[in-house]
A and B are shown apart, each in its own frame.
Chain A
């Protein structure tokens, strides 16, 4: 698929559909778009809110890029985010000590538990031939239930068993912020480092080359002597670790406690980001930023125009569908086009 041609066309279609939706909702389209932009970037606190959404989204998307390149549908990413948040929460609640010690430990705890949770679908697939989509859906439910159990059970607030969340963590365990800005520089560094590492890993490393080989044609890759099962497990593990970091950012950088819907839906949204990026690492960060901006900015629509902010989800979904349709149409027309053969084929 030629992305240079298909992405702008898809965006035009997506924007066109959005305009129609806005008109149908009785809102002036240009004003609405200005409001979305203003709501996402209008002042420093809005930029901060957008970045707070961007952080977990870009981490999850970077991880998903690895599993997609390995030919895997890691639908269980939501559960991996939740388990990452639980891992970070466990560290934050049990390990005493100064910020410089505990914060790195929360990140490690989140990454480890996220990776461990991702190894379950990996092993189910490689050992028992269970497709990762089914195990992923099931394990996401299990992870969400574990979070709820902890919140109303062992980790419930003193005297109250409420699904509104645990007690706030000790402030020393929060991802440190600089000045009045809510965005933690530590989280930004982690996210940028993750995206760059994934980019280098997939594009330049031998591991990445083999991973792509496994993803594109496991039979051939196996014939080359690549242990395909190990690469499947590694891809899941890495994705789970990054999803775990996303969960950590949500727990210790945003909510500062464990809440039931800790994943914020960023796992599923991350899948859309990767699909829209056409599985290219360089597109992940800007597309995630765009999605975060639409998500945060569209809250202005309900405040100012009285339109439901769920429009954000519609815009994101329509865009991805548009890219898929344009891509599919290109494949279709290519398949119908004249066949050029260099020599006689049997």
Chain B
């Protein structure tokens, strides 16, 4: 098994990493190991300095070291999990050449990837998985549309959204790049009041970083972020809050709520009160009011961790200002039953009618197509396309998510 991040011990030398897990007595046979490493490397065209610290190797070289170690140990089945994520293009070409050669030598290579082009370039057969289940098997080459349909399922678009006239720009990004040396900045983007921007992409393709940048929780390397006309990039998070930005993260209990504190205490923490002593009676009354308004199954004294997922989401939404300038949300309906999910969007669309701009990330294509005005597609950390939702289809989105430009 070759993991996405090669399992090497960075402070160890290349040779010691190679020898890790090797059978034998209590003493390392470094001489034998050195010879074996040299032979294996020569056979597959790798080049290692056995005494260099592993830290000095590139991710691609660490991967080669890991492959060499597995092969020397007599692996017959090689499983690679997203092996091309952190490596350069020449290293990818080299890796594919080695994998083809291993397959020709009667090894079994299982290659896990979400990049359609790589699968098409390398594999003989493909098994498509979705939500933890096998949804189809094909022998390659197979039509690309068919693979996309298998990956994302058939989407029946139902339900309508009330139309809302777009207002002034609520969020403006120009030339924003994540790190100082980011390869390419995000495209310039404006989200108007009353607009819903969906963020599509495979999990971990950069949607979270984008949302956290817009929320002021991370600082961009360069570029300008404005909320409601106020320039905010590199300002403290507090300024973003004051400008009317509200972020609801995906980890409800991990990063949104506080285990052990009651519902009433949560409202008290975000409410604008400033008296030194907390007025418990008033806090309870306020919490009861909000609990009724947001139909939370709980009492003011219920602790956040004792609520079910759906009610935690309701509590998070009840803690948001009624109509913030900009509402940022990760996976608004993940893990919720259908009723709670519908309820969440009903509330969100109501805020939108009041002039809130909504930016949300989701891996549910139906949710994206149904509720967004526009959809930004993320791929490997960047936005590769921004498309109007009305013009997009599940399969066109699916191709973009797989990194295939039309």
Contacts and interface: CB of A to CB of B under 8 A. Distances in A.
Interface in B255-269: 255-261, 265, 268-269
B274 A224 contact: no
Contact of B258 (A205, A216, A342): A216
Contacts of A204: 277-278, 280
A344 B277 contact: no
Contact of B269 (A200, A226, A345): A226
A341 interface: yes
A304 interface: no
Interface in B225-284: 237-238, 241, 247, 249, 254-261, 265, 268-270, 273-278, 280
Interface stretch (A39-47, A207-215, A252-260): A207-215
Given A225-B238, A344-B337, A207 B261 contact: no
Contact of B277 (A205, A212, A216): A205
A219 interface: yes
B250 to A, nearest CB: 10
B337 A223 contact: no
A227 interface: yes
B6 to A, nearest CB: 27
A213 B261 contact: yes
B340 interface: yes
A345 B237 contact: no
A221 interface: yes
B265 A209 contact: yes
Contacts of A197: none
A149 interface: no
Interface string B105-133: 00000000000000000000000000000
A234 to B, nearest CB: 14
A346 interface: yes
Contacts, number: 79
B300 interface: no
A206 interface: yes
Contacts of B254: 217, 219
A216 B259 contact: yes
Contacts of A220: 255-258
Given A220-B256, A223-B249, A341-B308, A206 B297 contact: no
> For A204, A341, A346, which residue has the most chain B Cβ atoms within 10 angstroms?
A346
Contact of A213 (B258, B277, B297, B337): B258
A224 B248 CA distance: 10
A210 B270 CA distance: 10
A181 interface: no
Contacts of A341: 308
Interface in A224-268: 224-227
B268 A219 contact: no
Contacts of A225: 237-238, 241, 270
A143 to B, nearest CB: 33
Contacts of A226: 269
A253 to B, nearest CB: 31
A344 B313 CA distance: 13
A222 interface: yes
Contact of A205 (B255, B265, B276, B319): B276
B291 to A, nearest CB: 15
A204, A205, A212, A217 pick with most chain B CB within 10 angstroms? A217
Q: What interface size band does chain B fall in?
A: 35 or more
Contacts of B280: 204
Contacts of A216: 258-261
A344 B311 CA distance: 12
Contacts of B308: 341-343, 345
B335 A217 contact: no
Interface string B325-343: 0000000001111001000
A220 B248 CA distance: 10
Contacts of A213: 258, 261, 265, 269
Interface string A302-346: 000000000000000000000000000000000000000111111
Nearest to A200: B277
B256 A343 contact: no
A344 B340 CA distance: 11
A204 B279 CA distance: 8
Contacts of B175: none
A217 B276 CA distance: 22
Contact of A346 (B257, B260, B334): B334
A343 B337 contact: yes
Given A222-B237, A223-B249, A343-B309, A206 B273 contact: yes
Nearest to A206: B278
A342 B334 contact: no
B127 to A, nearest CB: 23
A55 to B, nearest CB: 28
B310 interface: yes
Contacts of B259: 216-217
B256 A346 contact: no
Nearest to B249: A223
B335 A346 contact: yes
Contacts of B238: 225, 227
Nearest to B240: A225
Interface in B301-330: 308-311, 319
B247 A223 contact: yes
A209 B269 contact: yes
A346 B258 contact: no
A345 B335 contact: yes
B106 to A, nearest CB: 41
Contact of A343 (B275, B334, B340): B340
A206 B271 CA distance: 11
Given A345-B309, A346-B335, A217 B258 contact: yes
Contact of A206 (B241, B277, B340): B277
7 contacts: A213-B261, A213-B269, A221-B269, A225-B270, A227-B238, A342-B308, A345-B309
Given A213-B258, A217-B254, A219-B255, 5 more contacts: A206-B274, A210-B269, A217-B255, A219-B254, A342-B297
Interface of B: 217, 237-238, 241, 247, 249, 254-261, 265, 268-270, 273-278, 280, 297, 308-311, 319, 334-337, 340
Nearest first, the 8 A-B pairs at minimum CB distance are A346-B335, A342-B308, A219-B255, A217-B258, A225-B241, A343-B308, A216-B258, A346-B334
Interface of A: 200, 204-207, 209-210, 212-213, 216-217, 219-227, 341-346
